[in-house]
Amino acid sequence: MTKHLTEIECFEYASNLIVDEALLGPLKMHLTNCDLCAKNVEIEQKLTSDVEATLAVNEEIDVKETVLNYFTKPATNLVGVDVYWASIAFLFISLLLVVGEVTSFNEAFPQLTYTTLIASAISALLLVDFFFKYLKYKKGITS
Amino acid sequence: MNDSDLIRGLLNQQTSAINYFVNSYQQLVYVLAVKMTNNKEVAEEITQDVMIKCIEKIGQFKQASKLKTWVYTVAKREVLNYIRINKLETTQLTENETFNPSSEEVELQLNNEDIKSVISKTFNQLSLELKELLTLFYLQELSLKEIAVITELSEANVRVKLFRAREGFKKVLSKKDISLLNQLRYD
Ligand SMILES: [Zn+2]
């Protein structure tokens, strides 16, 4: 009869850590003939199931909502913010243009005679910004 | 959905891919986080962060390893960061302290509840590294090779550590440290 299994062999055998057939064969052979080692392996298996049962986590969680929200918000926000700022800018520019038409205003504040120029510059910048944000947003959806 | 379809979907942040990914991996991450932090709320928070991080950084995933292994690696890093930043208290004793049965050893017949208390008490006193290792081994059904990749240890080292942790459980279970048992009974 071959020699008894060492403690580490009992543990590794019981935990299916031995995959090499050359090692596994003789161990199996010994176990069929030796009650002592078979008993030790059984104790190891019992311990494994005790440890598994004790450490098991029974609560289940679901974080799908939070994760999905995280990834959908930025895209809608981007558009939302742009629409918001575009409306504000539009109102602001209209106001400037209206004010620019008032002759008495121009006389009172000659330094603001360039309102039309200022307004065009601001709207051009906003348009460029809006265009790039839109491209980025579109890329995010379709790529 | 196979891994490469899933990864493509995640790169595009498609809702279906995100759903599938979270469904498949959240529980694995949660279990690891719970066992390492011993705190359910914190573990849930970490799980959310890990899911988001994995999706954001899916481009960094090298297809040489399994997706599952990579998710664990991200999860582990996140748990350790969380513990460090929030100075979370996790009971940590060195292996020697933990596995040092008292000289007054007594053979005791333990019932199932005692066995569970002893195992969980012993587990909670382990180092974070061993907690991680035992969780991966006993609860996540990973191969030795996968555990070695996640823990960045050699396979031989994983074997030895698993065996030592096992010995620790056995020592406190078979020849019970009587002070620990008293502590459990009067807790
Ligand atoms: Zn034998």
Structural domain containing residue A32: 7-55
Is residue B75 located within the same domain as residue B143?
no
Q: Is A61 helix (H, G, I), strand (E, B) or coil?
A: coil
The nearest CA of chain B is from the CA of A128 a distance in Å of 25
Most A CBs within 10 Å: which of B115, B135, B141, as the mutation test of the A interface? B115
Residue B43, domain CATH: 1.10.1740.10
Q: What's the confidence (pLDDT) of residue B98?
A: 41
Q: Are A129 and A121 in contact (CB under 8 A)?
A: no
SS3 B175: strand
Query: DSSP class of residue B2?
Result: -
Domain annotation covers residue A28: yes
Q: Which residue in chain A is spatially nearest to B118 when comparing CA positions? A: A54
pLDDT at B104: 42
Q: Are residues B110 and B74 in the same domain?
A: no
What's the whole-model pTM score?
A: 0.70
Same domain, A47 and A78: no
The string of pLDDT tens digits covering residues B58-110 is 999 987 788 999 999 999 999 999 999 987 777 644 444 444 444 344 445 56
User: Do both B75 and B117 map to the same domain?
Assistant: no
The answer to the question of residue A48 being in a domain is: yes
Residue A69 lies in a domain: no
Ligand 1 centre to CA of A31 (Å) is 7
Same domain, B59 and B123: no
The number of folded domains in chain A is 2
Q: Reduced to 3 states, what is the DSSP secondary structure of residue A94? A: helix
Specify the residue for token string 């580490």: A8
Indicate the number of domains in chain B.
2
Chosen domain end from B85, B113, B148: B85
Is the ipTM of this structure higher than 0.85? Answer: no
User: What range defines the domain where residue B160 resides?
Assistant: 103-183
Q: Give the residue among A46, A23, B167 at the shortest CA–CA distance from A5.
A: A23
Asked if A100 and A115 touch (Cβ cutoff 8 Å), the reply is yes
